[in-house]
Amino acid sequence: MNVVIRKTKDESGKQAAIDGAKIIREAIKARGHANIIVATGASQFEMLQHLIAEKDIDWSKVTAFHLDEYVGMPITHPASFRLYLWQRFVSKLPLPLKAFHYVDAEKDPQGTCKRLGELIKQHPIDVAFIGIGENGHIAFNDPPADFKTEDPYLVVNLDEACRKQQMGEGWFPTMNDVPKQAISMSPRQIMKSKAIICTVPDERKSTAVKNTMDRDVTPDVPATILKQHANCTLYLDEPAASKLDRSKVKSA
């Protein structure tokens, strides 16, 4: 796993966007189109802001998927990831995307998993923009994550640490308001991406970052699976990297 450490989360988010945009341009140049995955949450604010500002990307040739959505949540809810991505990404692009395949878990989660699973199999992903949760999750694959399923999307139960993070970031007023289930892209589907851009800012993620780098690959720290990917880069600010043994990390 490559590691990029910058002083601030704005700087690390900008570098992630620059590197991801290069991959998108190269895919469009080579094949005439690109397929991407975009993530949500507070960790992606800066990266998305810089990504939409990148020049010379023909977004009309880009098909996008996203990682997850809460079961039973309407798109009008302030915590909806579909709403987040519309407000912070899709609606701000200079050109409409070729397609954006939203995760709609409001009424038929299993049907949505099946439909999206068939779609993503037809769109090999050039680059996945993801993050890591405070509990080490990727997407909503909380520990112990299912590293074996080949299903691209699945309905998962959210653990208490994950739900506390969602409340702590201000998406919900109380724990009782945080849903207990979500649709999530599976770890093996994320790993099928040709490149992974993983942006993880803030000191509150520092333990998860340390565990990801120090632990052997284990479902108990889902993000450790990223170390098995041939082209995955972790973008950190100094607070997120504060618990790393820098002598063991090759950083750019």
111: domain CATH number is 3.40.50.1360
The three-class DSSP label of residue 241 is coil
* Contact between 188 and 149 (Cβ < 8 Å): yes
Residue 211 in this model has a pLDDT that exceeds 90: yes
How confident is the model at residue 246, as a pLDDT? Answer: 76
How confident is the model at residue 207, as a pLDDT? Answer: 97
The average pLDDT across 145-168 equals: 95
Full DSSP string of 15-69: HHHHHHHHHHHHHHHHHS-EEEEE--SGGGHHHHHHHTT-SS--GGGEEEEESEE
Across 42-56, 101-115, 158-172, 190-204, least confident range: 158-172
How confident is the model at residue 154, as a pLDDT? Answer: 97
Residue 101 in this model has a pLDDT that exceeds 70: yes
d(CA 123, CA 4): 28
d(CA 69, CA 104): 7
What does pLDDT average to over the chain? 96
Which residue do the tokens 């993070």 mark?
Answer: 165
How confident is the model at residue 245, as a pLDDT? Answer: 85
The average pLDDT across 19-38 equals: 98
Write out the H or E segment, with its range, that includes residue 13.
helix 9-31
Measured CA distances, 15 to 45, 100, 132, 198 (Å): 13, 24, 17, 11
* Contact between 136 and 223 (Cβ < 8 Å): yes
Rounded to 5 degrees, what are φ and ψ at 181?
A: -135, 155
Which residue do the tokens 């993983």 mark?
Answer: 198
Task: Quote the number of domains for the chain.
Answer: 1
Residue 252 in this model has a pLDDT that exceeds 80: no
Domain with 213, as residue range(s), is 2-248
Q: Residues of the chain with pLDDT > 70: what percent? A: 98
pLDDT tens track for 71-87: 999 999 999 999 999 99
